[in-house]
Amino acid sequence: MPVRQGAARLLLRTLCAALVLTGCAGGGSPSDDARARTGTDDSGRHAATPRPAPPPPGIPGLGTATAASLGDANRQALVVTGEGPDSSVSSVVLWERDTADAPWRAVLGPWPAHNALRGWTRDHVADDLRSPIGVFGLGDAGGRLPDPGTLLPYDEDPAFAVSGTGFLGEPLAGSFDYVVAIDWNRVTGTTPLDKERPLGEGRGGGVWIHVDHQGPTRACVSLAAEHMRELLLALDPDSVPVVVMGPAAELGR
């Protein structure tokens, strides 16, 4: 009996020592795996979850779908915001960014503008008296007057002369003193006077940004003469400029 009791005591002391050693090995600060599971740092406090950096600020008023139509190469965007789907009154702001990852900044405007007599459409056809909604290139310019110093290709031509009266009886003379072609149903890289219509004559053409004649247009966007000059001086083909145009509700999609 004494021998067996002594052996039992020895076995008990050995087990206790093993448990103490095990506790020393695992009873300190949590392991890396444990910290990962519990989300705590070395002090036992919950570690903050890393958050991705927010995207650079976009252009106010443009919804996800519209903004997605702007490519990384587009570093200038002329935003034409109509007051409503059937309104001929709009506002224009030129936005720029330094790189695709940089925030947009307003550099010109807001300027008052006119668009087509009956407002806007996503399915523009000839003589519907509506301006097309969408994102279109701005690569070619021209006018009756000499080039004011634009970086865009500029075609000075007396054929830009226009006469007659507009929808409100206002004179149209001087409306095409300066123009920038909107790439709707046209061949890019040509004068705005070019008559080729890749989509067919029925889809209209000759949609420009031109000098305002104080009234609605047939499909174009019009700005005051001084604003047209400022725009021509600001547009840079290296920035691959585009126009983003439509009523506010459509641009906000």
Secondary structure, 3-state, 57-119: CCCCCCCHHHHCCCCCCCCEEEEEEECCCCCCEEEEEEEECCCCCCCCEEEEEEEEEECECCC
Pairing of strands 120-121, 131-132: parallel
Exposed/middle/buried for residue 193 (C-beta within 10 Å: 0-12, 13-18, 19+): middle
pLDDT at site 4: 47
Sign, CA torsion 194/197/202/205: negative
**pLDDT value of position 35:** 47
- Pairing type for strands 242-247 and 76-82 reads parallel
- The list of the chain residues with pLDDT below 70 reads 1-56
In the prediction, which pLDDT does 53 show? 53
For residue 55, the model assigns a pLDDT of: 56
**What's residue 12's pLDDT?**
44
Please state, as a whole number, how many other Cβ atoms lie within 10 Å of the Cβ of residue 173: 15
pLDDT tens digit sequence for 204-238: 999 999 999 999 999 999 999 999 999 999 999 99
Q: At a CB cut-off of 8 Å and minimum separation 6, what does 214 contact?
A: 114, 166, 168, 170
Q: Are 117 and 129 in contact (CB under 8 A)?
A: yes
Residue that has been written with the tokens 């889809």 in this structure: 203
